[in-house]
Structure 1
Amino acid sequence: MNIQPAVSLRLVSIFAALCLGVAGSAQALSLVVEEGEIAGVSGLDIQGRLYDVSFRDGAFNAVYPAELSGYGPLARAVAQALLAAGPSIQAAPGWRADLRPRGCQSADSCTILIPEHSDGAAPNARMTHAVEALYTRDRFSKVPEPLWPFDAATDTQYMPDMLYAIITPAR
C-alpha cells in the first residue's frame, strides 16, 4: 500500500481549503454604494463575527429599532473596524474619491455617530452617548476617544456633517 499519494492528496485538500478561506474572508468586506453615496459597509469583521453598517440621517429615536439603547462596546469596535478597513474600502468596486457617506453633505468631513448607551431605549430615549467615527475627504480618518452626548430627538438631517451608523449582524 502506498501512503504517499494519500498524504499528498490530503495536503492539497487542506491547502485548497485554506486558500478558499482566505479568499472568502478577503471578499467579505464590501462597499455599498447607492445613488452616488456610500450607503454602508458590509462584512466588517469584529472578533470573528461579521457585521453590516448602514448610514442614515434622522433622530436617534426615529432611525434605531425600538428597544435599542445603544450598542455597548460594539460601538467602539465598529468605529475602529471602519478605520482599519479604509484601504479595503478604497479598493472595493464602485469606490470613488468623491463618494461621501449617506447623509454627509460636507466636502471636508463628517461625524458618524454610533450610539454606545442612552438613558432609555428608542423611541423614548432623551439623551444618548455615541462613539464618533470621522470621515475626512475620502477615508475614515480617526475615532476620538471621548463619547459625545446628544439629545436623542436631534435630527441629523439638519446637521450637514453628522449622520448615524446602524449596525446589524451580516447575513
Structure 2
Amino acid sequence: MNIKPAVSRRLASVCAALCLGVAGSTQALSLVVEGDEITGVSGLDIQGQRYDVTFRDGAFNALYPAELSGYGPLARTVAQALLAATPSIQAAPNWRADLRPRGCQSADSCTVLIPDHSDGAAPSARMTQAVEAIYAKDRFSAVPEPLWPFDAATDTRYMPDMLYAIITPAR
C-alpha cells in the first residue's frame, strides 16, 4: 500500500479548497468609487463577518449615530483589514492610482480616523480616541499603534488630510 499518492491527493484537495475560499472572499470585496473618490470599501471580511466601510468628512458628533461612543476593538481590526486588503482594493476593476478616499485632499497622505472610544456618545461627545489608518501613495500603508485623541466637534472638512470611517455590517 502506497500512502504517498493518497496524501498528495488530500493535500491537493485541501489546497484547492483554500484557493477557492480565498478567491471567494476576494470577490466579495468591492471598492466603491464616485467621481474621482473612493467613497468606501464594501464586503471587508473580518473573522467571517462582512463589513462595509464608508469614508466621510465631518465631525464625530454629526457623522455617527446617536449613542455611538466608538467601535471598540473593531476599530483596530477594521484598520488592519484595510491594510491587508490593499492588494485586493488595487485589483478592483474601478481602481485607479490617482483615487483617494473621499475627503482626502492632500497629495501626500491622509489619516482615516476610526473611533475606538469617546468620553461620551454622539452627538454629545467631547473627545474621541481613534485608530488611524494612513492612506498614502495609492494604498493603506500603516496603522500606528497608539490611539489618537481628537476633538469630537472638529469638522474634518476643514482638514485636508483627515477623514472618518463609518463601519456598518454588510447587507
TM-score (norm 2): 0.87
The whole-number CA distance in structure 1 between the counterparts of 2:162 and 2:20 is: 39
**What is the Cα deviation at residue 25 of structure 1?**
2.0
One-letter identity of the residue aligned with 2:28: A
Does residue 158 of structure 2 align to residue 158 of structure 1?
yes
Matched residues, number: 158
2:56 is aligned with 1:92? no
Structure-1 residue corresponding to 2:48 = 48
1:131 corresponds in structure 2 to 131
The equivalent of 1:108 in structure 2 is 108
Are residue 79 (structure 1) and residue 86 (structure 2) matched? Answer: no
Partner of 2:75, secondary structure, is: helix
> One-letter code of the match for 2:111?
T
Give CA-to-partner distance per residue, 1:20-72, whole Å, 9 cap, x none: 75543221111000111000001111111000000000000000011100000
Residue aligning to 1:117: 117
Q: Give 1:55-74 correspondences, 5 Å limit.
A: 55-74=55-74
Aligned identity (percent) is 85
- Which whole-Å CA distance do the structure 2 matches of 1:107 and 1:65 have between them? 30
Taking the aligned partners of 2:142 and 2:23, their CA distance within structure 1 comes to 28
1:23, 1:88 → 2: CA distance? 10
In the alignment, structure 1 residue 143 sits paired with structure 2 residue 143: yes
Paired residue secondary structure (1:76): helix
RMSD (CA atoms): 1.8
- Deviation, 1:93, is 1.0
User: Unaligned stretches of 5+ in structure 1?
Assistant: 1-13
Query: Does the residue aligned with 1:94 lie in a helix, a strand or coil?
Result: coil
Deviation at 1:150, TM superposition (A): 1.0
**3-state SS, counterpart of residue 27 of structure 1:** helix
- The TM-score, its normalising length taken from structure 1, stands at 0.87
Whole-angstrom CA distance in 1 between matches of 2:65 and 2:114: 14
Say whether 1:35 aligns with 2:26: no
CA distance in 1, matches of 2:120, 2:167: 18
C-alpha distance in 2 between matches for 1:149 and 1:95:
32
Distance 1:26 1:116 in 2: 26
